Amino acid sequence: MEKLIFIYQKIDLKWVADIVSLLKGKYHIHCFEITDDETDFEEIKQKVRLFLNNFGPGYIYGYGLGGNLALSVALEDEHHIKGIITQATKFDLSTFSKDSLQKLTVPFRFTRGGKDKFTSKKNTLSVQKHIQHSYYFEIPSMAHSLEDIPPKHIARLLQVQLESFHYEWVDTDYGKMAYRKYGFPAQKNEPVVLFLHEAIGSISQWQDFPARLCDALNLPGIAIEFPGYGFSDNEDKVRDENYLHEFALAYLPSFLKAIQIDQPLIIVGHSDGGTNALLYSSKHPENVHSIITLAAHYLNEPETRSGIQPAIDAYRAGKLKGLEFYHGEKTERLFFAWANTWNLPNFENWNISSDIKNNTVRALIIQGDKDQYGTDNQVHGIVKLLKNADSLFINNCGHAPHLEKEEEVIQAIQSFVHR
């Protein structure tokens, strides 16, 4: 279990306790509390260093003054620090130089709320831009004070940012793309499981599924984020009815070329990711061992379009703000890129039958029996078009079988791959 240290002021004790309780069992957490009578910054910093020496290698979450302390300690000694997350921190720019920041090797995640009136984006970026392994992540609807933010939101923020410390980035023809590896190929011809996310998905939104599936299959895996998602570069292009073809036949090949992967792929795709798996495997069957789709679509049904307006209504009512913790400032553009595209007049008759017809790659087509974005015809139609496909309906399950019925889905995939 990974270690995590909280550095915060005593005034925030109540909210920190609630956050810690939500993360118990996932991280080994210790807290460093700055008391009201401690005012000497250098003295507090030395206490933090001593605390870290006893704590051992771990990650730091510094809220407010805690972020300044974490940065200052790292500038003196990175030895016991695996990564630092700051939140709502106003950095004292007079206490460190550009040169000292550039020498840091510990990774940083600088987080800030878009509604934070006490710290500025300019101040944060003035520090972040000089640290080589760092990322600025703004949550548009989040305020400054912990008392104004539900503890579950901070817990989610921390989980996403902590997971990102395991990410890597690669330059593609379409910008930097983030990805996470699960294990490493033992043999050159050993398959690699490739996870393709949904329309508003990310690496972190897969939760523990990639790690658990790779363990069950005893195979390495890679989960990616397309441009415009999560920790990948922005993607400003206006989408049209061909956007899924572009993701599958341009963005994905560019990524695979950039990381120089030549092992056969077992592609696991959710929703849009499932459609991408169908398109890519049809165009490049020589690169694919098999595909598993979860709630994929091959045509735009009335049921699909009717499911979008309730999602738009929910977003505008503020009920989908949780997406901001995965995509930050990209969230609104990303959400409406999905919703508006599927409602385009030119997209009404979208159908990839001619693209995937006669695909010979082995396929397992999975869908929940209560999927709100597609009928059973999605599965039956795909299986009929492909030459070597099996169908599987998951009972009492909606649009995300891998999250709602994880064990059942993993067992089904394990049986399929090892058959």
What does the pLDDT look like over 258-301, one tens digit per residue?
999 989 999 999 999 999 999 999 999 999 999 999 999 999 98
Q: Distance of CA 293 to CAs 23, 46, 290, 315, 367, Å?
A: 31, 53, 10, 26, 8
- 100: pLDDT confidence band, cut at 50, 70 and 90? very high
Domains of the chain: 3-164 (3.40.50.1820), 168-417 (3.40.50.1820)
> Which pLDDT score is estimated for 8?
84
> Which pLDDT score is estimated for 406?
98
d(CA 354, CA 385): 9
Retrieve residue 339's tokens. Answer: 């919703």
Percent of the chain at pLDDT above 90?
76
Strand, helix or coil for residue 270: strand
Whole-structure pTM value: 0.95
d(CA 372, CA 306): 9
d(CA 94, CA 72): 12
What does the pLDDT look like over 2-58, one tens digit per residue?
999 999 887 677 788 889 899 988 899 998 888 877 778 888 889 888 888 888 789
In this structure, what DSSP letter does residue 250 have? I
What does the pLDDT look like over 83-97, one tens digit per residue?
999 999 999 888 889
Q: What is the mean pLDDT of the chain?
A: 93
**Exposure of 403 in the CB half-sphere (CA atoms within 13 A):** 13
CA angle 224/211/194 to nearest 5° reads: 35
> Which pLDDT score is estimated for 60?
96
Beta bridge partners, 30, equal 5
What does the pLDDT look like over 184-212, one tens digit per residue?
876 778 999 999 999 999 999 999 999 99
Retrieve residue 325's tokens. Answer: 């913790």
> Which pLDDT score is estimated for 186?
66
Burial track 396-418 (b if 16+ CB lie within 10 A, e otherwise): ebbbbbbbebbebbbebbeebbe
Indicate whether 395 pLDDT > 90. Answer: yes
Indicate whether 148 pLDDT > 90. Answer: no
Closest CA to 265 of 315, 326, 194: 194
Retrieve residue 140's tokens. Answer: 């548009």
